[in-house]
Amino acid sequence: MTLVPTRIQLNRPLPPLTYLAPEGLPEGVRVQVKLRNSLAVGLAMGLDPAPPVAKLRPIESVLDPFPLLPEKLRELQSFAARYYGCLEAHLLPLSLPSSMLPNWEADEDGQRLSFHRDRGAWEVLADLGEAWHRDPAILPTLLHRSARRGSGFTEVRLTGAPHPPRVTPSQAKVLVTLEDAGGALMEPELLASAGVGASVLGTLEKRGLIQRLKRVDLLGQRREAGLDRTVTLTAEQQVVLDAVATGAFGVHLLQGVTGSGKTEVYLALAERVLAAGRRVLWLVPEIGLTARLLDRLEARFPGRVAVGHAGLNAGERHGDVVRLLFNGADLFVGVRNAVLAPLRDIGLVVVDEEHEGSYKSEEHPRIHARDLAIKRAQLEGCPIVLGSATPSLESWQAAQGGRYKLLRLRERPAGISLPSVEIVDLREAFRQVRRKVILAPTLMEAITGTLAKREQVLLLLNRRGYENFWMCRACGRTL
């Protein structure tokens, strides 16, 4: 076997390091390497055209039967690293969970000592890869088992309470194991590592030394959503659908008034793309929007949706990424970092509420997910839809200049009208009542009429300087 100098990107803030690897090693597969006195996992990044003169170490082993990061995603990461002035290592954790890129302790002989909290997730991926390579038809069963192991489990955490002077040897093992693992472990891993029974955890929990937190299977909850109703598109929505569904790359800025049915257009586009055997990347600005959207997506495309956002625990994120890697999910919805998800053969990219500032990271690496989504769609050769009722200035300018195609939804479906807006000149209102009042007479009449109908009123008040409340000077009542 011929060994050639190969660039290996580790999950550490370092540029790619050069190791000797088998000739023809595919880019994007994970390899295990030695780094000083530890073992680490990295991604093969291709041949090193100018290897260092110093003696090179060979890699320890190749871990995957196929690349985890698609070629187009690796191109996107390389572009983002240059554009945003960061290392590709800073972008790697945005694509793969830490459970897939673990760092291990090693003894003097370089042997593995422990996986800590990543061991269970690592074994799931290894089992999946080996079994899938032997028999791809077994994939649905494997994914079901992976989802069961990756979510809906109990996590054990240290409470931070001081250790009492008297603990049994079994209890001491549990506490030491948790401390070594950073303070938290999945319950099955903890019991196996400490070699104790579940009753020991119950005793420690009663003594206030640990917490057992039940993690909910969000995917299972989503699947309980009701069936999505079939919606007939309006003429405006159909025009937008036909304009986007060409299959070729193009940036489409969809401006639609609130309630005009932009989401229904996205769903119809996704349905066409999935029917053609391709996949969909759907970005939303906030986790709250993700939860509401997932109900509709799971109802429309049951069993085909994966999700990614910061609210997921390690097991849930690992399980959804595994489904992407093994083609167990066709539609990936998530927040900012989802733009770098390991999704293959993308046929549509959707950026909902594209004007939101949360798409731009305020922490290193300072990526802008909307801009990277456009670049990713270009690399994939697929259309991208930027949707908003109030487009950002830069997107609006690009549409006016012809770089983006402007599409509009001006009306709500079924003739539903927008709420009427009335602007009241408070100076004129004060002249009418000949005194200053907190609420204008027009607003008071509207409130009185609404309450008379036993309906509710919502008043929004902007904060003025450092004042966070109003107080009546006559009676002292706080408003």
pLDDT band at 214 (very low <50, low <70, confident <90, very high): low
Domains of the chain: 3-114 (3.40.1440.60), 228-415 (3.40.50.300), 422-479 (no CATH)
Q: Which residue has the higher pLDDT, 439 or 265?
A: 265
Quote the DSSP letter at residue 311: T
Task: Give the pair of three-digit tokens for residue 228.
Answer: 């999505």
pLDDT of residue 116: 37
- What is the Cα–Cα distance from 479 to 138, expressed in whole angstroms? 64
Q: In angstroms, rounded to a whole number, what is the distance separating the alpha carbons of residues 279 and 330?
A: 5
pLDDT score, position 154: 74
Q: What is the pLDDT of residues 107-119, one digit of tens each?
A: 444 344 333 334 4
Taking only the tens place, the pLDDT of each residue in 4-26 is 999 999 988 999 999 999 999 99
Question: What three-state secondary structure class fits 321?
Answer: helix
Mean pLDDT of 253-281: 94
Closest by Cα among 328, 351, 341 to 70: 341
Percent of the chain at pLDDT above 90? Answer: 43
C-beta separation of 121 from 56 below 8 A: no
- C-alpha–C-alpha distance, residues 392 and 183, integer Å: 43
The per-residue DSSP string of 220-262 comes to HHHHTSPPPPP-PPPHHHHHHHHHHTT-S-EEEEEEE-TTS-H
The SS3 of residue 303 is: coil
CA atoms within 13 A on the CB side of 74: 14
Give 103 or 171, the one with higher predicted confidence. 171
What mean pLDDT do residues 420-430 have? Answer: 81
Residue 217 pLDDT: 45
Mean pLDDT of 452-461: 90
Count of CB atoms situated within 10 Å of the CB of 471:
11
Q: How confident is the model at residue 42 (pLDDT cuts 50, 70, 90)?
A: very high
DSSP assignment of 275-299: HTT-EEEEE-S-HHHHHHHHHHHHH
Q: Which of the two residues, 394 and 417, has the higher pLDDT score?
A: 394
User: Would you tell me how many other CB atoms lie within 10 Å of the CB of residue 159?
Assistant: 13
> Which has the higher per-residue pLDDT, 97 or 149?
97
